[in-house]
Amino acid sequence: MDFLRELRWLLEQVPRGRVTSFKALADALGDGKAAKAVYVTLKESKLPGWHRVTRSDGGIPFHEAAGTLIQEGIRLSDSRVVGFQGIKFTDFRSQRPLALLRREQRSLASRVVLEDRLEKPGEVGGFDLSYQGNRAHAAAVVMDREGVEVLDEVRLTTIVSFPYISTYLSYREFEPISLCYGRLRCRPSLLLVDGNGILHPARFGIACLVGVRLGRPTIGVAKSLLLGRVDSGVKQGENSQIHHRGRLLGYAYRPGRGKPIFISPGHMISPSTALELVKGLCKERVPEPLRLAHLACGQMRRAAVG
């Protein structure tokens, strides 16, 4: 989905003399959770009609918009639209593209294999990204199964067009990850991705997409909990199950004294095997291939700045 194009299309529908809100635009895109992404996008690229977008209470988010709004006959009082409810436009024509993406996730989720299809004990690849606006610095680090020796590494920079929206992360980060994977000299037999696998409302987080699209065993490792409930008080070095709607979706694992990480299968691996493999790779809080990929991304970004 082309996020900018969809947003441009919706903004064209707001008539002169009317306004709409970030939330209303997000709803029209198919998911109200995208309201912040709409805000960030409009803040960075002022599409035609950007000045007609307000907060949910009619507040003006961009001070520069006030003059144009008044010219269009909209009355403002204390940086808020007077009679907001009356002139608020919500009657959008839209295919609701985010709802389509959610449907796609639910459909692809049926292809996820939750049994161990791990080939020979081979290499493990970690993938991570860091950003400068819509510039994504991506890195892949391949190590041995114990996370001791680096066997291969790839770094690249690309432009991403899809914003960060919780539960749609894969539509932002899959392409850079896929590009990294394609440039590796030796293909790892197991992939680690920053984010969730089946620990996702559609049971299809980014680790699942990476696994299914690349046809490789994949595990998702997240640093904060997206959904589900964890038994409170996980002791260090130990783990506890994460259930959601009666299903075991992953584990919370506390490598040290700090916060836990959240492990879930992406593809071709069982929850328990995913947990054990990640445990074996955790020298620090995050498994080594992911930690080194994270460091590589940070270096790239700093090098691009200075």
How far is Cα 88 from Cα 253, in angstroms, rounded to an integer? Answer: 47
- Pick 18 or 218: Cβ nearer DNA: 218
Kindly give the interhelix angle for 3-11 and 35-44, rounded to the nearest 10 degrees.
90
Binding residue (CB under 7 A) for DNA from 20, 130, 189, 273: 130
Residue of the chain from 6, 123, 194, 288 that contacts DNA (CB under 7 A): 194
Residues making up the chain, counted from first to last: 306
Give the binding range for DNA (CB under 7 A) out of 10-18, 58-66, 182-190, 201-209.
201-209
8 A C-beta contact, residue 157 and residue 304? yes
Residue with tokens 């492990």: 263
Q: Are 143 and 123 in contact (CB under 8 A)?
A: yes
Name 198's Cβ contacts closer than 8 Å, sequence gap at least 6.
109, 112, 114, 204, 205, 208, 220, 249, 250, 264, 265, 266
Q: What is the nearest approach in angstroms of DNA to the Cβ of residue 293?
A: 10
Can residue 168 be called a binding residue for DNA (CB under 7 A)?
yes
For residues 9-38, which are near DNA according to CB under 7 A?
A: 33
- Which residue of 6, 123, 128, 288 would you call a contact of DNA, by CB under 7 A? 128
For DNA, what does the binding mask look like between residues 212 and 251, x meaning CB under 7 A? --------x-xxxxxx------------------------
Instruction: Return the number of the residue (54 or 167) whose C-beta is nearest DNA.
Output: 167
User: Which residue, 195 or 271, is less far from DNA as judged by CB?
Assistant: 195
How many chain residues interact with DNA (CB under 7 A)? 30
Shortest Å, Cβ 158 to DNA: 14
| SS3 assignment for 136-205 | EEEEEEEECCCCCCEEEEEEEEEECCCCCCCCCCHHHHHHHHHHHHHHCCCCCCEEEEECCCCCCCCCCC
Query: From the list 59, 61, 280, 298, which residue makes contact with DNA (rule: CB under 7 A)?
Result: 298
- Interface ranges with DNA (CB under 7 A): 33, 128-132, 164, 166-170, 194-196, 200-201, 205-207, 220, 222-227, 297-298, 301
